[in-house]
Structure formats: C-alpha cells, structure tokens
Structure 1
Amino acid sequence: MQNLAVKNVIIGAGAMGAAAAYHLARRGEEVWLVEQFALGHARGSSHGAARIIRHSYADPDYARLMPLAYRAWRELEADAALPLFIRTGGVSFNPSSVSYVEQVAENLQALDVPHRRMSGKLWNEANPAFGLPADYDVVFEPDAGMLTASKAVATQIELASRLSPKTRVLPETPVRRIDLDGSRPVVVTDDLTIEAERLIVAAGSWVGRLLPDLALPVRPTRQQVLYFRPGDRAPFEIARFPVFIYMGESPDQAFYGMPDFQGLGVKVARHGGPDADPDNPDPEVGEAYRDLVRDFLRAHIPALGSADIGLTEVCLYTIAPGERFLVDFHPARSDVLIASPCSGHGFKFSCLIGRVLADLAANGATDVPIDAWKRV
C-alpha cells in the first residue's frame, strides 16, 4: 500500500468530476481524478452521444443559471478549440390543462431569451414532423440544442492533464472507503492511501455508499433510452428537427427527445424510471416500456410511432427530493465537497458546476448563486 498526500482529489470521472478537474487544472492546481471504471464507461450518467441543453426551464432557480452554463461551455470550447455544442432549437409542449409551458415562457421572457409561444396547430404548420393536438401550449427556443456528451467529458479530462502537469488520472481504481476520522480526508483504494487537502466526491449513484453516515437523500434510478430509425430520416435530421420536452399531467408523463445524430437514430425516452442497484446493471429494455414510448410518439410525432428501434441504452439517474441538485460541503468538514447534481437534468450544468466546485475547493465560496442546491 502506497501512502500519498495530494492537494485535490476528485472521486468520479463523469461529467461533474471531469469538469471539476478541468477547472482546478485551469488554475494550475494539483488534481488527482479517481475513477472506479474505465474512462468513458457506460455504467453511470455521463455516457452517450448527446444531451439536451436549453434555457427553457419552468423552475426559475435553474433557468437563471442557464446563461452562465452556456458561457461555461463556450469557454470550454475555446480552451479545447473544439465544438461541443450543436444548435438545433428546442420545443417544449404540454396539454392546455398543464402550466409547464406557461412557466417556461415566463422565465425565458425574464432572461430576455428569444422564443415564440404558440398553439399546437401553429407548431404543426411550422414543423410538419409533429402532430400535436391543436390546443396544446407550445414554446420554441431557437438557442437550445445538444452537447456532445462523451466527447465533452473526455475533452475536460484531456484538458486537465494538458493544463496542469500536476494532474493524475487513475481509471479502474475503485475507492474502497473514505476515512474522515483524521485531520484530513483519506481516500483508500486497493493500492493507495491518499491523504487529500481537499476532497470532492462526485461519484454519481455511488455517492451514498461512499458516505454512508450522511444518509444522503438520493436514490439511483434506471433511465431507458430508445433510438428510432424512420424510413424517411430527412425530417429528423439536425437543422430540421429540434430537441423536445413534453410535460403531461403527471410526473410519469414526461418525455424528451433529440434529432438523429451520428446516424444513431432519433433519441426518445420517458423521463425517470424505477429504482436501480448501480452495482447490478440491467441493459435490457422491455416491451412494455417500448410500447409506452411508442404510444406517446403516435400521439405527437406520428412517423416515429411506427419506426424501427435500432438501438437502446440504459443509464442511471441519481434522484434527490424534488429533482434538485446537491452541491455542498460535508456538514462536518470544510475540506470535503459533495457533488450530486444530477436528478436526470444535470449534464447541461456540468461545466458550470465544475467551476463552482473549483471555487468552493480553492476559496470556500463561489459567486454563482447555488443556495437552492446546498442541502446536504
């Protein structure tokens, strides 16, 4: 067993951990990034070709942070000299009995983000791939789009190594325990005992197991994703088909999707899923779930409702109460940060959250307003 002393240790090399490593390295800090699986693995929440990014939030706490999130991604693209954002436009829609679009439109107006609110009938006329009921409430945001998810995570890890010679990345290095009994946090793996001046725990669905004494109010859930391949794929290409969010009358009636990207097909999923054990992944997507998504598509995007499913994916959400984020110091220690900002909608914020974590680790405070997330 080798004993080491390191300034910054980050557990978890997914979207949040990679972003924290990038932002700390950008400041010239020493960073060790510890990941239990291979880099870019498919066991957590950060893999896959793309994730949606949008200003369109019904919750003002999240909406008001989206301009900062967009800027963080632009700064990353500049540092990397690589495009990571694909502008597709984004549409949110709901039945007339639901107030989601009304709230989204109010927040877009408050942020001065260009948008257009309209009926389902008018939306269908502008975008004939859709077949929404005529009285649906719809809002279109032209600046929404997709982030190249796996590429973005890998880029931040690469930049962390390039920007600071004191960066070390340790894939396939499971953390067996975190010792918080001493003056500094200690991370124990099979071969290393690492004393950290500062520790960031960004372990996704494993965060509760690494910090069992806190009884964090998070639960892993299983998210199932389908990729549809219609006979005529042209109407669903980027620049013709937007990312979309549908909000029905109950929480289990929320769906999202995005255009055909990298030839994978049109990505569609219901938001949320059953509780899951992250150590026992189940890659199968059953017929009942496929039928559920098809029923939604037949009623809203008819050509996809009968299309072949060419690919399925499964990932994990780490859900906190109210689908909030948890980004805060350990309640008993100022040298341990806990980052569980997921709840199924965290990727778009991840580059900004990396900056927040670097601020908190280095300075103990941040100018980004995250009070709504500080509930550990």
Structure 2
Amino acid sequence: MTDDNQKSGLNRRDLLKYSLQGVALTAFGSALSNSAKASAPAFLSQRPKNGKIVVVGAGAFGGWTALHLLRKGYNVTLVDQFGAGNSQASSGGETRLIRAYYSDPVYVDMAMRAVTLWKENEPRMEQTILHQNGLLLFNYPSSKAESEAAIAIYKKANLPLEKVSLDDAVKRWPQIGVEGLDHVLYDPSAGYLDARKGCLAVCNLFLKEGGTFLQQRVQTETIQNGKVTSITLTDGTRLEADSVVFACGPWLVRLFPQLTRKLKVMRALCFFFASPSGQADLMENKLPTWMDRDMTGPFRSFGVPGSDFRGFKVGLTPPDNNITDRFDTYHRIIKQEEFDMALGVLKRRFPKMVGQPLIEQRVCQYTSTPDTDFILDTHPEADNLWLMGGDSGHGYKQGASFGEIAAHTVEGKLEKSAKFSLKRLIG
C-alpha cells in the first residue's frame, strides 16, 4: 500500500470493515473546494428509488456500474469473491493504457468519456489514477490502413493525433529505435491508468457514498417467472434483488457456460525491467506510453515507462495463450520463449534498455469475444439478470464509461445495444 493510498480514504483492512458494516460516508476530504464541501453532491441527495441491485464483480466494469447505479438512487450491493483490484482479476495489475486509437467510433467515444469521468472523480478519490503522458504508436507498412483510418476518426472527433516522420521521431524521442517502421503516430491525450489502485479507488468511493461491499462468492441465483429474485452467497447469505448484474470477467464462463461458450480466456504477459541508473528519460514524465502495431507479426507489444518507479513495463500477447478451460487453476508462469520475445522488443525499440535485468513478471488474463466487442445483455430466462463482460483485452480503459452505459441500460433509460448482445455469441 503506497502513502497515497493510505491518505485517500480506505485501505484494504478498512474495506473489509466497511463491507461488513455497510457504512455510508459522505465527506470527500481536502481535495474538494470549500463550496463543494458545503453541500452534498446532487447524486447523494437524491431520494432513494424503490430498487435493490446486486452487482457481482468489482473490476473495471462492475465497480463503475455499481457506483453509477448508486448515484441514481438505487440500493446497491457490490460483491467480489477476492476483493476489488485483486491479483486474480482481469482488472488487477499495475497499469493499463487508455487511448482513443480505435477504428470504431463507439470505442473512441467511450474512451473519451472515460477520461472525463476519471477527471471528475479523482478529486473525490483524493488521488491521481489517470496519467496523460501521451502515446507513441509504432506503425509498419502493414499497419498503414489502420493508421489512416485512425487519423480520420481522430480528426472527426476533434482529437489531436500527429503523424511523425522517423527522423523527427528520433529527434523528439531519442530513447526509441525505429528500425522497420514506416512512421510514428503521437497521441498527446492518451496515457495510462493505475489499474489495481483504480479498482480500489472506485470501490472506496462507492462505500463512501453509501454502497455496500461484500467479499463473498456467489453460489446460485434464484429465477422465478422470468425474473431473478435473489442470489445466494457461499456463506449462506441471501441477497434479494430487483436486478442483478454479473460483471465477473472470466467467471462468466463458469457461471453461464451455455451463454458464453464462444468466449475465450486469454493470457497476456507483463515484464518489468530495471531502468538504468540515472536515466530519467526512460520515465513516464519524459517518455510516452507506446504500442507496436506490427499487423503481420506473431504478437503485438505495448508498454508503460517507469510508473511509480516499478520499472520499464513491456506487455505482450503470446501466440499460445488460450486458457479457457483452466483460467483459475493454472500456474501463471512465463515461458523462456516468451521472455525472449520481450527482450526482442527492447532490442528493437528501446536500445538503452538492452541488458537491463528483469525485476518483475506477471501473467494477466482477459476474456475475449469473437468480434472483440463487449457484452451487455439480459439472460434469456430472466429480463432483470444482466451479463456484462467480454473485455477482450481493451476493457479497462472504457470501464468508467461502459459502467455508465450499463447503469443507464439497467435503469431503462437506454435500450439494449445489438453491438453488445448475447445473441451474437449463442446464435
């Protein structure tokens, strides 16, 4: 636990205590202006609705959904079997990129909205989760079409995106290598999020504003006359509910196997290398985050330089990464050939990092849909039982805004979207 986390409300011990007590805290602390402290925010002074909602899963999707629903006036209970920001979850780990670099305007809009939501909520969290230190996109001849499409979308969205020649890129960022590249794109509004801290911060805020958190596992749900009426936890607790949202990442595969048989749980690898002594130009305030866009290679890589002095992060998705049938039982061990891939990334793109020792490694996992679109839909046998997931390796950056969409949809203010439907997975 860092000093920042200890100053910012609840630590993990507090989180357990308040999960049992269901205590509502409404003071946001010194980060807010005096005028903001003088009166409770509008969403806290709303009259509670006659509705109990249970959200299962306190990751990027579930945590934000619970917070948005709470602010609509619902009585919300958030349940997670391992706790918010835990290491087994897809939303665990240190950092995740946030960027609007998509060929689909829907995800561009969601990423932009997520940035706004983080900025709005950070004062109440009393810590910084969003770091907009920019993004370098290493583009090859094979990624020209993707690059041009992105440039057009950025222009339409009025977002900055620079196309930088290789000579100019080396002048601006002498830390990088450009061998084999066609050009570099630079997005100054992108950056990264503190993933584990972010999940915990959202859960802390949810508790402060009156929500209830339980660290328990769901055993079963009760469906009667086309509606879910309650869920039962493994400790015997029965939670009555007017609606239930299951946003539990790969555990959707376990809980609803017939509805999610086209989902795949995939491995992703993170390596942290020791930054060279005295090389401040390899830290996040001097070097942007980055993505390697080789569309023909066996894997794609990305990274975050230096965050919280954890080391130079290299992330990649290896060719052999489908662990659907054992995602919660396998040993999360990185193979030698995968480590060699990471060393190859450093050699090509960050020559100053060559020879630096590996100081930390991590195997993450994500749940992928065939089309990489998310899931937000009702169970075919219960119109108030919602399934939310399919992050497909890019869900954390949209968690804040997708949670907002989910809250509006569960409430009935938004119609269900065909883009996020279950039918495309079971049809």
Give your verdict on TM over 0.5: yes
Q: Cα deviations across residues 258-308 of structure 1 (Å, max 9, x unaligned)?
A: 110111101111136512222214222121101011112211222224321
The structural deviation recorded for 1:14 is 1.2
| Contact preservation (8 Å) 2:343, 2:354 | yes
- The alignment's TM-score, normalised by the length of structure 2, stands at 0.80
Q: 2:331 aligns with which of 273, 278, 282?
A: 282
| Contact preservation (8 Å) 1:326, 1:341 | yes
For 1:251 and 1:371, the matched residues in 2 are separated by 32
Q: Cα deviations across residues 143-199 of structure 1 (Å, max 9, x unaligned)?
A: 1111121221111111112212xx22111x111223334453132222123232101
> Does 2:96 correspond to 1:51?
yes
Superposition pairs of residues 330-349 of structure 1, within 5 angstroms: 330-349=379-398
**Which residue pairs with 2:110 in the alignment?**
65
- Structure 2 unmatched ranges of 5 or more: 1-49
Does 343-352 or 27-36 show the bigger shift?
27-36
**Which residue pairs with 2:119 in the alignment?**
74
For 2:250 and 2:296, the matched residues in 1 are separated by 25
For 1:200 and 1:348, the matched residues in 2 are separated by 20
- Give the match's secondary structure for 1:199: strand
User: Per the alignment, do residues 198 and 216 of structure 1 end up closer, same or farther by CA in structure 2, a change over 3 Å counting?
Assistant: farther
Q: 1:176 aligns with which of 208, 211, 219?
A: 219
User: Per the alignment, do residues 79 and 341 of structure 1 end up closer, same or farther by CA in structure 2, a change over 3 Å counting?
Assistant: farther
The structural deviation recorded for 1:312 is 0.6
For 1:299 and 1:178, the matched residues in 2 are separated by 51
- The alignment's TM-score, normalised by the length of structure 1, stands at 0.91
For 2:116 and 2:380, the matched residues in 1 are separated by 31
| Contact preservation (8 Å) 1:227, 1:309 | yes
User: Per the alignment, do residues 27 and 309 of structure 1 end up closer, same or farther by CA in structure 2, a change over 3 Å counting?
Assistant: same
> Does 2:310 correspond to 1:264?
yes
Q: Cα deviations across residues 96-152 of structure 1 (Å, max 9, x unaligned)?
A: 232232222222112111121022232122101101127522110111111121221
> Does 2:197 correspond to 1:148?
no
For 1:6 and 1:353, the matched residues in 2 are separated by 21
- Structure 1 unmatched ranges of 5 or more: none
User: Per the alignment, do residues 265 and 321 of structure 1 end up closer, same or farther by CA in structure 2, a change over 3 Å counting?
Assistant: same
Superposition pairs of residues 1-376 of structure 1, within 5 angstroms: 7-99=52-144, 100-133=146-179, 135-164=181-210, 167-171=211-215, 173-185=216-228, 186-190=230-234, 191-232=236-277, 233-250=279-296, 252-271=298-317, 274-276=321-323, 277-363=326-412, 365=414, 371-376=418-423
- Give the match's secondary structure for 2:358: strand
The structural deviation recorded for 1:210 is 1.0
Task: Report the AA paired with residue 105 of structure 1.
Answer: I
The structural deviation recorded for 1:228 is 1.2
| Contact preservation (8 Å) 1:178, 1:211 | no
For 2:260 and 2:197, the matched residues in 1 are separated by 33
- Give the match's secondary structure for 1:112: coil
Q: Cα deviations across residues 26-67 of structure 1 (Å, max 9, x unaligned)?
A: 223111111111333100111122211112223333123322
For 1:121 and 1:134, the matched residues in 2 are separated by 13
Task: Report the AA paired with residue 333 of structure 2.
Answer: E
- Aligned length in residues: 367
Quote the sequence identity (%): 24
| Contact preservation (8 Å) 1:328, 1:339 | yes
The structural deviation recorded for 1:250 is 2.9
Task: Report the AA paired with residue 352 of structure 1.
Answer: S
- Give the match's secondary structure for 1:274: coil
Backbone CA RMSD of aligned residues: 2.2
- Give the match's secondary structure for 1:57: coil
For 1:346 and 1:141, the matched residues in 2 are separated by 19
Task: Report the AA paired with residue 108 of structure 2.
Answer: A
Task: Report the AA paired with residue 77 of structure 1.
Answer: E
For 2:116 and 2:147, the matched residues in 1 are separated by 25
- Give the match's secondary structure for 1:223: strand
| Contact preservation (8 Å) 2:170, 2:176 | yes
- Give the match's secondary structure for 1:269: strand
User: Per the alignment, do residues 251 and 194 of structure 1 end up closer, same or farther by CA in structure 2, a change over 3 Å counting?
Assistant: farther
